[in-house]
Structure 1
Amino acid sequence: MEHIQLAVNVLDAKSLVASVGAIGILAIIFAETGLLVGFFFPGDSMLILAGVAASSAAPAVLGDGAQMNIGVLLVGAPLCAIAGAQLGHLLGRKVGPKMFDKPNSKIFRPEYVEKAEEYFEKFGPAKAVVLARFIPIVRTFLNPVAGTLQMPAKTFLLWNVVGGVLWTESMLLIGYFTGDQLAPVIDKYLLPAMALIILVSVSPIIVEVIRERKKKKAGEGAVEAEAQTAESVAGGRHRKH
């Protein structure tokens, strides 16, 4: 029960990392991406703190005995993330329609499929699968929804590997290379640190939204220019008559 309580609150990711060790972290990564009930795990903050646990700052930040092997994490985390997402995709292909056809369900709602369809249409399958890795909860539900929407297995596997590697390695290396800087302040400024982690997590989707808005404005400007040109041409014709 203690570990479950720690997992629910993202601010307790530090205690979670110190408690479960490297094997526990890898199991949680698999659960968060593959088992739909794992959406509440603090994946991003946990991975960054796992990177800290593999750095020289581990004893100062997490206490004695918390030191982890960065090699094990860099190999194991992406493998578990990829395997978990593949399981989610498989579940979606096999039982997706039944799973999400529950209007009264608090977890498996038909709206998730509709939102995922919009997400796929907006960014395309490749970007959708990769970007979902950096968004809490979405990275859990997008995999079975992709299976439900019959996204080809080979296509999903390719971008699942790309997204899984980018997500896990970037989070781990942030913690590993900034561990010494985080050590003196992580206890006092844990809340701002977690806010920064969340910002880093959602930054890819923010960039995409900004790009989409720029494209939309450019498109609207082009349409408006064409309309003005057409109006000018039509006005000229009328004046000739």
Structure 2
Amino acid sequence: MDISEIIKYLSDSKEIIGAGLFAITFVVYAENGLFFAFFLPGDYLLFLTGVFVGTGFLKYAIGTVLLYLFVAAVLGSLTGFLFGRFFGSNLENKKDTWYFKQKHLDSTRDFFEKHGSQALIICRFLPYIRTFAPILAGISRMNYPKYLFYNVVGGAVWVGSLVGGGYYFGVEFPWIINYVHYVIFFFLAITTFTVVKGYLNFRNK
């Protein structure tokens, strides 16, 4: 299996969910703080996980799923923060590669300047920025207790709303399992719009 096939597999939320809770947990952890994992699914992975639990496809209690993914989101962001704090200068000077784009770091910095510390909560719902925000917080040496507070609150809101929302739809509308691809397209459309809008705003500035 070459690198492109690995990336394709890791980017497929249905494949990840089918692999079980530990695979989902690892992806959530990686996507929330490892700069080379920015391409992994985030929002729609959480939502579909909730749907699959609600419909019984995933045989886990919803409380267990919420706890695992909340911890993964918090620890992932904490990893990114610590990486930024101790190795951030190397990342800022790093040239673009297939797994790292300087523009993602620049757009995240712009987002921080606009929203301040609350960006750590808002950015949970924004692809790419969600991955780089903890790293940038570490680079800027944000006060640790302050960062931890926003990290925990952001993780709880992000996981709770998306997994909880997906679970509700799975329980109340079990037929949604037959339209998973439309759910993915919906989230991808939002993601694309957000990224393009953010890039255009950054370029104009």
Report the TM-score range of the alignment, normalised by the length of the smaller protein: 0.7 to 0.9
Give me the TM-score of the superposition, normalised by structure 1.
Answer: 0.70
Match of 2:9 among 6, 19, 28: 6
1:27-176 pair list within 5 angstroms: 27-55=26-54, 57-59=55-57, 66-126=58-118, 128-176=119-167
Number of equivalenced pairs? 192
CA contact (8 A) 2:107 2:129 kept: no
Question: For residue 220 of structure 1, what is the aligned residue in structure 2?
Answer: none
Aligned letter for 2:148?
Answer: L
Aligned letter for 1:193?
Answer: V
Structure 1, unaligned stretches of length 5 or more? Answer: 60-65, 210-241
Larger radius of gyration: 1
Q: SS at the partner of 1:34?
A: coil
Question: For residue 15 of structure 2, what is the aligned residue in structure 1?
Answer: 15
Deviations 1:135-169 (A, max 9, x none): 11211111111111222222111111111110011
CA contact (8 A) 1:134 1:201 kept: no
CA contact (8 A) 1:50 1:68 kept: no
Q: Which structure would you say has the larger RCO, counting Cα contacts within 8 Å and 6 or more residues apart?
A: 2
Change (3 A) 1:102 1:21: same
Q: Distance in 2 between matches of 1:69 and 1:105?
A: 40
Structure 2, unaligned stretches of length 5 or more? Answer: 199-205
Q: Distance in 1 between matches of 2:152 and 2:15?
A: 29
Q: SS at the partner of 1:169?
A: helix
Q: Superposition RMSD on alpha carbons, in Å?
A: 2.6
Q: SS at the partner of 2:94?
A: coil
Q: Distance in 2 between matches of 1:68 and 1:201?
A: 28
Indicate yes or no: 2:23 matched with 1:24: yes
Change (3 A) 1:104 1:78: closer
Identity over aligned residues, as a percent? 31
